[in-house]
Amino acid sequence: MKTLVVGGAGYIGSVVTRLLIQDGHEVVVLDNCSTGHADSIPAGVRFVQADISAVGEVLAGADFDAVLHFAAKSLVGESVAHPSLYWHTNVIGSRALLDAITEHGVPRLVFSSTAAVYGEPDTFPITEDSPTKPTSTYGATKLAVDMMITNECAATELAAVSLRYFNVAGAAWGAGERHTTETHLIPIALDAVAGRRDKLNIYGDDWPTPDGTPIRDYVHVADLARAHVLALTAAHPGEHLICNLGNGNGFSVKQVIAEVERVTGLEMPVVSGPRRAGDPTRLVASADRARERLGWEPQHDLRQMVADAWEFSNSVAAQEPR
């Protein structure tokens, strides 16, 4: 297929772009590089550096088969402190993208959604039918876009898939996490254990969990990328398919720290502090629908995620000026 990857210079978008190319798809990337990196786009891929508002210009007359939409603000704490930024970027930007898709007759959309739409769930594992009660502006904006996509599919015969990620980790095919402002546990822990940070902050050790720290479901970015490629042909015209992506296993912050120390053979400096606004206690996925509808199965465990992220973070550090 001829695919437009919006947000393809970011962490997940750049990994998905690599897999699309490996699988023989033609790829164009649109990204303003506000958080992504132009050098993470593979050589030979057409790259348009522009805001999401330019998506219509890229689609015009080009006969794209699909759009994969990764462009968004995604920092939970920032979204709580600056909600207008998130509503404008995530929702208004996505509205412009949907309008362009409709105008230019693109038949397929794959959307990067999030487990944050579920908020503080009452039952586990979380299914796609679990109540959506986001506790952060970030989660609320992603839910709003999911709702817009549902309406658009009903009105226009668009075939769309929303993939609700749980915690993504690891690296694949030479691409990994390079966030300027890093909030994800595994890369922060790896920086701390390597001495690139002075310590790791635990946001609350008094949560109602066995060891007092929050529990999350982790999925390898390579597994996540494969789900996007499978999603290109999963939905029928007029259908909005929503699938959770996770391993179905929960690990606490302290368990992740222990795994990082095992993989690296190094001890980590850790400091406990107050809870972070918008964080739920526990998020663990049921990915049964992804298995049934996408034919998807996660292949990588937590140790592999940590090991791949460790290798990538060291390669990036080695290239940085001293």
Residue 135 near residue 282 (C-beta atoms within 8 A): no
The residue behind tokens 């809870």 is 275
Cβ pair 229, 68 in contact under 8 A: no
Cα of 38 vs its chain's centroid, Å: 18
Q: What is the pLDDT of residue 193?
A: 95
First to last CA, the chain: 43
Tell me phi and psi for residue 216, to 5 degrees. -135, 155
How many CA atoms, within 13 angstroms, populate the side-chain half-sphere of residue 11?
26
Q: How far apart are CA 263 and CA 311, in angstroms?
A: 11
pLDDT mean values, one per 10 residues, the chain (322 residues): 97 97 97 94 95 96 96 90 96 97 97 94 92 94 98 97 96 88 88 94 94 95 98 97 95 97 96 83 93 96 97 84 54
138: annotated active-site residue: yes
Q: Write down the pLDDT at residue 291.
A: 97
Burial of 61 (0-12, 13-18, 19+ CB in 10 A): exposed
User: Which of 71, 158, 53 lies closest to 111 in space, CA to CA?
Assistant: 71
Tell me: cis bond preceding 125? Omega within 30 of 0 counts. Answer: yes
Strands 270-273 and 200-203: parallel
Q: How far, in Å, are 1, 21, 28, 216, 249 from residue 25 at the CA level?
A: 5, 5, 10, 33, 32
The model's pTM is: 0.94
Which pLDDT does position 178 carry in this prediction? 86
pLDDT, residue 281, reads 87
Say whether 322 sits in a helix, a strand or coil.
coil
**Structural domains of the chain sorted by starting position, each given as residue range(s) with its CATH number in brackets:** 2-171+218-246+288-294 (3.40.50.720), 177-215+249-283+302-315 (3.90.25.10)
Whole-number pLDDT of residue 65: 98
Of 25, 51, 26, residue with least CA distance to 36: 51
Q: In this predicted structure, what is the pLDDT of residue 49?
A: 97
Annotated catalytic residue, options 86, 118, 138, 203: 138
